[in-house]
Amino acid sequence: MNTRTLVKDLAALPDGPVTVAGWVETVRDQKKVQFIILRDESGAVQLVNPAVRELDPEGVSVGAAEALALTEQISALGHGTFISVSGDLKHDERVKLGGLEVKIGSLDVVSEALETPIAADSSLDKRQDWRFLDLRHPRQNLIFRIQTTFLHALRTYWVERGWIEIQTPKLMASASESRAELFELGYFEGTAYLSQSPQFFKQMAQPAGFGRVFEVGPAFRADPSFTSRHATEFTSIDAEMSWVDSHEDVMTMHEEVLVAAFTAVKDRHGAEIQELFGVEITVPSTPFPRIPLAEAKEIVASRGYVVPRTDADMDPEGERQISQYVREELGHEFVFLTDYASSIRPFYHMRHADDAGLTNSYDLIFNGVEISTGAQREHRVDVLIEQAKEKGLEPEELDFYLDFFRYGVPPHGGFGMGLARVLMLMLHEHSIRETTYLFRGPTRLLP
């Protein structure tokens, strides 16, 4: 039976025998004592061995010989070597690392390590080459514990309110949005595409009578961008709900689920985030600010920056500027930009009842970067067909999708949100490469 104790659980134990296991972070080999900082998936602990340096080879006792062997074994340990140690736990407030240490009784080298090829100051690209070693760092470990808490809180919010979790296929027979960003692959005697979004399939759940659905899953974009916020494969968080009156219902749900997630992260990891990232997590207040896109562009222009194209989306600098305005004037890290022009939105976004040039849609901006797009969907099949034609799409290629609307469907809406972007902006990191377990981009398919 495995009697290993995680480092995080040592503080609750009384002094006495324990077994810990993990990798060697540092060895301090001093004249009269040796220290090992052992790290496992939950934290780090100091191990101590009162060293035996010189023994008379004549008449050496068995115990002394074993002590010398242990001392030499510790001296030879390399950074990253995995070990298992049994010894005596002692609580001592003088120990800076957690106020406790383990006196080594026996040490078993489980797996020796070569000299590490990366350092704390290695470039991001090199650290990505050796990602499995980079992930040993406490900051990286914390990112994925935060991710776990964040996703669990989202799921809890939805599940407790009767939502259904779905898993949609990632192999598609046709484009879900833009054929220009599709990865194409051979599929037996035909062609398939990697899904850009679960959009069509989460909408399919509405005529199916599911009511409210969500998914956390991979999405693929054949976008040759090398920015800090783009990836060719990413984790998308999607939600879709029936019986909405407008995109306002979607925004209300969206902000509520984010408040639940940020609250969970702050409660569970706030102190660690402050220590390792120097960031104080702020739980956003509701409602989030809402600004129509045209008005947002005017605000940005008044601050000295003009978005280059009037018929386009807000560009990255515009997003930074409107976020700065909202932070300064409204004290908020989030802002919904609403009422996007139909010319820059997908064919399935519902248009304003009194202005077909605008859509019932929004982008959510967080700390200067767009993290999500949401909308009320068009549920009238005749209108959908006409809007698809306007976008240059062939209705025949969308027949499987249009069938969803030919047999009755309630008014509905939802959003898609990039997980790595949210975490990047939450922790004030500079790239989603840091907040993606294994990043995929135009020039990276390994490890």
3-state SS, residue 215? strand
**Residue 422 backbone zone (phi > 0: left; psi -120 to 50: alpha; other: beta):** alpha
- Domain for residue 442, yes or no? no
- Domain for residue 34, yes or no? yes
Q: Which residues of 365-393 are buried (b: 16+ CB within 10 A; e: fewer)?
A: bbbbbbbbbbbbbbbebebbbebbeeeeb
Task: Looking at the structure, tell me whether residues 365 and 417 fall in a common domain.
Answer: yes
Q: Which residues of 241-273 are buried (b: 16+ CB within 10 A; e: fewer)?
A: bbebeebbbbbebbbebbbbbbebbbebbeeeb
- Domain for residue 230, yes or no? yes
Q: Are 134 and 80 in contact (CB under 8 A)?
A: no
* Domain interval for residue 220: 127-426
Mean pLDDT of 178-183: 77
Helix (H) or strand (E) holding 87: strand 82-91
Q: Across the chain, what does the average pLDDT equal?
A: 94
Task: Looking at the structure, tell me whether residues 257 and 138 fall in a common domain.
Answer: yes
Helix (H) or strand (E) holding 134: helix 131-134
Task: Looking at the structure, tell me whether residues 16 and 165 fall in a common domain.
Answer: no
Task: Looking at the structure, tell me whether residues 83 and 203 fall in a common domain.
Answer: no
> With 80 as the cut, is the pLDDT of residue 51 above it?
no
Task: Looking at the structure, tell me whether residues 194 and 98 fall in a common domain.
Answer: no
- Residue 86: which CATH number? 2.40.50.140
Binding residues for ATP, by number, are 370, 418-421
Mean pLDDT of 290-316: 92
Task: Looking at the structure, tell me whether residues 145 and 264 fall in a common domain.
Answer: yes
**Beta-sheet strands, E only, within 169-255:** 171-172, 184-187, 190-194, 212-220, 233-242
Task: Looking at the structure, tell me whether residues 97 and 152 fall in a common domain.
Answer: no
> With 50 as the cut, is the pLDDT of residue 234 above it?
yes
pLDDT band at 335 (very low <50, low <70, confident <90, very high): very high
* Total domains in the fold of the chain: 2
Tokens of 351: 């248009």
Q: Are 196 and 175 in contact (CB under 8 A)?
A: yes
- Domain for residue 171, yes or no? yes
Structure confidence by residue, pLDDT tens digits, 138-152: 999 999 999 999 999
Mean pLDDT of 79-106: 96
> With 60 as the cut, is the pLDDT of residue 287 above it?
yes
pLDDT band at 175 (very low <50, low <70, confident <90, very high): low
Q: Are 342 and 375 in contact (CB under 8 A)?
A: no
> With 80 as the cut, is the pLDDT of residue 59 above it?
no
| The pLDDT value given to residue 60 | 53
- Domain for residue 320, yes or no? yes
- Residue 221: which CATH number? 3.30.930.10
Task: Looking at the structure, tell me whether residues 53 and 89 fall in a common domain.
Answer: yes
| The pLDDT value given to residue 290 | 98
Task: Looking at the structure, tell me whether residues 226 and 372 fall in a common domain.
Answer: yes
> With 50 as the cut, is the pLDDT of residue 230 above it?
yes
| The pLDDT value given to residue 176 | 59
Binding residues, by number, are 177, 221, 370, 373, 377, 418-421
Binding residues for L-aspartate, by number, are 177, 221, 373, 377
Of 111, 135, 159, the residue at which a domain comes to its end is 111
- Domain for residue 24, yes or no? yes
| The pLDDT value given to residue 1 | 46
Tokens of 422: 């949210």
> With 90 as the cut, is the pLDDT of residue 167 above it?
yes
- Domain for residue 447, yes or no? no
Of 67, 82, 111, the residue at which a domain comes to its end is 111
The pTM assigned to this predicted structure is 0.93
Of 287, 291, 337, nearest in space to 314 by CA: 337
Task: Looking at the structure, tell me whether residues 86 and 147 fall in a common domain.
Answer: no
Of 79, 111, 143, the residue at which a domain comes to its end is 111
Structure confidence by residue, pLDDT tens digits, 370-381: 999 999 999 999
Which residue in this structure is represented by tokens 């051979």? 186
Mean pLDDT of 73-81: 95
User: Between 176 and 247, where is the model more confident?
Assistant: 247
- Domain for residue 120, yes or no? no
* C-alpha atoms less than 13 angstroms from C-alpha of 309 in its C-beta half-sphere: 9
Task: Looking at the structure, tell me whether residues 156 and 255 fall in a common domain.
Answer: yes
Task: Looking at the structure, tell me whether residues 187 and 219 fall in a common domain.
Answer: yes
3-state SS, residue 238? strand
